[in-house]
Structure 1
Amino acid sequence: MRDDAEVQAFVDGAETYSPDEPQSDTQSALRSIDLPWWQGRPVPERRWMVRDWMPWGYVTALYGDGGTGKSLLAQQLMTACVIEKNWLGLETTPCPAIGLFCEDDQDELLRRQHCINRALGVDFGDLGHLHIIPRVGDDNVLMTFNRNGKGELTPLWQVLVTEAKRPGARLAVIDTAADTFGGDELRRAEVRQFIASCLGRLAREIDGAVLLLAHPSLSGLKSGEGTGASTAWSNTVRSRLYLSRPEAEEGAQIDEDLRILTRKKANYAAIGDEIRLRWQNGVFVIEGAPSGNFVEAIDRRNHHQEAEEAFLSCLGAVIETGRYASATPNSTCYAPKIFLKLDARRGFNKQQLERAMESLFAAGRIRVGPLKTGHRNIVQAIVKVVG
């Protein structure tokens, strides 16, 4: 990787390039598909950087409010592609990767990469094809616009293309839209030029895919859709992902480490798919998925046992006050729901208490049986198995 001074010198010496520069008659001619030529020939298969989530040759947008972990998630994707592993359980295309990070300095990016390396079992020496460029505090605009709204690619865009092609990078991460877009985010024409003629062209130049990180608008946050200020942002990209924090369940505290990655838009796949993630030891992991680490496996088992004990404590507390807990989900006395209001739950959420209840039933430690309530009524409720 070049040092900052060398890259800046390259930027200063480059000329501004317009995506609409005059082309030869041959280049600008409209060419239709020769459909008869394709008779009997195989149709090209769709290529993916991340199957069903990030198409090849196009721009994918990853939206998320500040502090949700977009940059970390993108850096994990870059690493997964470089070391030929899945990303969040999803199939990736092995390739070199480059990232323009405008919000984090070198030290922060190194700390983050250290956590990723530890989680994936690799060393810095294994990452020769991972090119991370810290640009915090620099001018990172990739396209500007004149009075007529015509976009012009900046010298930095040219440098980025050159630096990406040098190692053969097929994945380019741009963090963020706010730092690299030099136009008015409410002007649809300018937004479309930036996505199509700047970042889309970058994807074509490297014969790969571009992941653009962006912040949702206030209305996008309120609606839960995670959209930008103009509909052109969502309409122009081929895939749009949204990283969000789930809302707390009734009576429960917010789980600060939990995230949901949702496929909000997909031109070539179904929309609405979600992946529940948990921030753990500096990286995102799939919620509830085994890591393969023996020590962590023991921790998870102990954590589950603690959830079972918390469930039993809550059950005892409810029965002692003359109430009862039901195993029926639509009951107003559904155990995992009413336990959320008790200190005895020890911070476990509804889902964790449900899993604890299921395992306690399976182990024969609780059952559904007759129970006399404080009103001397006999109800079918959850009771502890004695002996």
Structure 2
Amino acid sequence: MLNPAHRAMGLQVFKDLGYVREMAPTEEPPHDDRPPVTSFDAFGHEASAPLEQPSATEKLAWLDLSALDGQAVPERKWAIKDRVPLRQAGLFSGEGGTGKSIIELMKNVAHVTAKDWLGTLPEPGPAFYLGAEDDQDEIHIRLAAIAKHYDATFKDLADGGLRVLPLLGQDATLVAATKGGKVEVTGLYHRLYEAAGDIKPRNISVDTLSRAFSGNEIDRVQVYAFAMHMQALAKVADGSVTVLSHPSLQGINSGSGLSGSTAWHGAFRFRQYLKAAKSEDSEQPDNDLRELEFKKNQYGPRGETLVLRYQRGLFLPEGGASSLDKLAREGRADELFLDLLRRFADQGRNVSATPTAPNFAPTAFAADPDAKRVGLRKPDLKDAMERLFSAGKVHVENYGRPSRPASRLAVKP
């Protein structure tokens, strides 16, 4: 049962969101042995508590803008700087088996150990993980690899505030919808809400949407109602809530990463999409590369992507690359550079690695029809040359008579 302070805070959340003007006092439900279930309509109003109608003369509570002169502008707060805003809920979607749960567990461990997560530093503090897709042993295996990476013990994780709730095979519903369109929060939601208010986790992971929400994913009103209840959790926790989900076939093919209504994009303040590398025929290859795309960031940079590689039981950034497209483009540039270098050598056309030389290799190669056809320019080929030097695939060799030495760029045997 929610204590009065948490119930009041929950109702205030609805008022802050603009869905509720003023609510009549509610009575506590009668005690029984079943978990409490509270009924809400699509906008979060308790079914047993009709709204008080405002009088026709009641004034609108406009924000007094003139009073803001001279006041310090509030600093935006983040659970993870520029990626996850504080006191907001977000969606983390991805095809099954791509690694969402591992990446989300890594984020929670980073919160409780105050360490790096994918190149960022999450705010230190407790974290909750509700897992409805894996059993306790699988979660144990995954956390063991993650704890080893962060040089932490399981006791360190527990002391730091990591709370894991395995729900495989159990009813993990947090929010449901009745046939009449009313939205219900379950006893599990109540208990989670109360724990969030007491412990104040920096992040709550709900894995996954299909187990936590038994409403209609294509009903925009129900989608927004579910998102509102997740934001209520984020507010009472003074942290973030991340709901993991699976995209529909259309969401996969379009690259949106969504399932059902487009309201899933609008209802959440941040959204991430994880996908595997695809081959030309769109079949998923057997490799360890993933792309994590930050599809929506309401208050920070948008469109950022990270390339991750599966190694030692977790996903880590791949060589500083920002996208799979960039990796593929760099690979094409490296291959073309080597091909052109061999062809020029066969034709007796020597090229140089010196930028001021008239036969500077990137300049000469950028003018070649093959480079123009694939859209590779001088900067692309210059970067390719530097990568090939670093990889030991090209070198500068001397040639000519000892009295007139010369040098040229060549493929290293």
Per-residue deviation at 1:284?
A: 1.0
Aligned length: 325
Measured against aligned partners, the alpha-carbon deviations of 1:284-336 in whole angstroms (never above 9, x if no partner) come to: 111126xxxxxxxxxxxxxxxxx9xxx9xx98xx88xx899x974786777xx
Give the Cα separation in 1 of the matches to 2:183 and 2:164.
27
> Could you say which residue in structure 2 is the equivalent of 1:344?
none
Residue 50 of structure 1: how far off its partner (Å): 1.1
Decide whether the 8 Å contact of 1:228 with 1:234 is kept in 2: no
* CA distance in 2: counterparts of 1:163 and 1:139, whole angstroms: 18
Instruction: Map Cα deviations across residues 172-219 of structure 1 (whole Å, 9 max, x no partner).
Output: 1111111111111111111110011x2111111212110110111111
1:185 is the counterpart of 2:217 = yes
Question: Following the alignment from structure 2 to structure 1, what is the Cα–Cα distance between the partners of residues 129 and 219?
Answer: 27
Q: Return the match for 2:71 from 26, 29, 41.
A: 41
Report the AA paired with residue 279 of structure 1: Y
- Give the AA of the match of 1:190: Q
2:272 maps to what in 1?
Answer: 241
- Is the aligned partner of 1:86 residue 2:123? no
- Closer, same or farther: CA 187–364 of 1 in aligned 2, 3 Å: closer
One-letter code aligned to 2:121: E
Match of 1:75 in 2: 105
Which residues of structure 1 form unaligned runs of 5+?
Answer: 1-9, 290-306, 338-352, 371-380
Give the 3 Å change call, closer, same or farther, for CA 102–364 of structure 1 in structure 2. closer
Q: Which residue of 2 aligns with 1:383?
A: 410
Q: Output the amino acid matched with 1:383.
A: A
Task: Please tell me the residue identity of whatever aligns with 1:217.
Answer: S
How far apart are the structure 1 equivalents of 2:202 and 2:412?
59
Compute the RMSD of aligned alpha carbons. 3.9
Secondary structure of the residue aligned to 1:172 is strand
> Residue 255 of structure 1: CA displacement?
6.1
Change (3 A) 1:34 1:383: same
* TM-score, normalised with respect to structure 1: 0.73
Aligned ranges for residues 191-202 of structure 1 at < 5 Å? 191-196=223-228, 198-202=229-233
Post-superposition shift, 1:33?
2.8
**Matched position secondary structure for 1:262:** strand
Q: Distance in 2 between matches of 1:106 and 1:12?
A: 27
> Do the aligned partners of 1:369 and 1:383 also contact (CA within 8 Å) in 2?
no
Q: Which amino acid aligns with 1:365?
A: H
Greater C-alpha radius of gyration: 2
Tell me if structure 2 keeps the 8 A contact 1:368–1:383: no
Residue matched to 1:258: 289
Structure 2 CA distance, aligned partners of 1:323 and 1:120?
A: 54
1:114-154 Cα shifts (integer Å, max 9, x gaps): 00011111111111210011101111111111223121111
Residues 22-41 of structure 1: matches in 2 within 5 Å?
22=49, 31-41=61-71
Q: TM-score, normalised by structure 2?
A: 0.69
Match of 2:174 among 123, 142, 145: 142
What are the within-5 Å matches in structure 2 for residues 1-387 of structure 1? 13-18=34-39, 19-21=44-46, 22=49, 31-128=61-158, 129-196=161-228, 198-248=229-279, 254=285, 256-288=287-319, 328=365, 357-359=388-390, 365=395, 383-384=410-411
Cα gap change, 1:35 to 1:64, in 2 (>3 Å): same
* Partner deviation per Cα, 1:325-353 (whole Å, 9 max, x = no partner): x974786777xx9xxxxxxxxxxxxxxx9
Cα separation, partners in 2 of 1:24 and 1:286, compared to 1, 3 Å: same
Letter in 1 for 2:242: L
Contact 1:248 1:255 in 2 (8 A): no
Q: 2:204 is aligned with what amino acid? A: A
Please name the residue that 1:350 is paired with: none
Question: Which blocks of at least 5 consecutive residues in structure 2 are unaligned?
Answer: 1-30, 321-330, 349-360, 375-383, 401-407
Q: Which residue identity lines up with residue 85 of structure 2 in the other structure? A: P
Please tell me whether the aligned partners of residues 220 and 226 of structure 1 are also in contact (alpha carbons under 8 angstroms): yes
Where 1:137 maps in the other structure, the secondary structure is: coil
Query: Structure 1 66/34 Cα, relative in aligned 2: closer, same or farther at 3 Å?
Result: same
Higher mean C-alpha deviation, range 12-21 or range 52-61: 12-21
Residues in 2 aligned to 1:190 and 1:330: alpha-carbon distance in whole angstroms: 57
Deviates most, 265-274 or 93-102: 265-274
Amino acid at match of 1:118: K
* Rounded Cα–Cα distance in structure 1 between residues aligned with 2:149 and 2:66: 51
CA spacing shift, 1:331–1:85, aligned 2, 3 Å: farther
Percent of matched pairs sharing the same residue: 33
Q: What secondary structure is seen at the aligned counterpart in 2 of 1:182?
A: coil
Q: Counterpart of 1:243 in 2: which secondary structure?
A: strand
Is the Cα contact below 8 Å between 2:394 and 2:409 reproduced in 1?
A: no
| Distance of aligned partners of 1:364 and 1:171 in 2 relative to their CA distance in 1, 3 Å threshold | closer
Q: What is the one-letter code of the residue matched to 2:38?
A: Y
Amino acid corresponding to residue 111 of structure 1 in structure 2:
I
Q: Deviations over 1:239-279 (max 9, x none)?
A: 111111122479xx946111111111121123211111111
AA aligned opposite 2:92? L
Task: Give the match's secondary structure for 2:38.
Answer: coil
Contact 2:92 2:272 in 1 (8 A): yes
Cα distance change on mapping 1:367 and 1:329 into 2, 3 Å? farther
- CA deviation string 1:150-170 (max 9, x = no partner): 211111100111233343323
CA offset digits 1:1-52 (Å, max 9, x no partner): xxxxxxxxx996431123412388699x974433333332212211111112
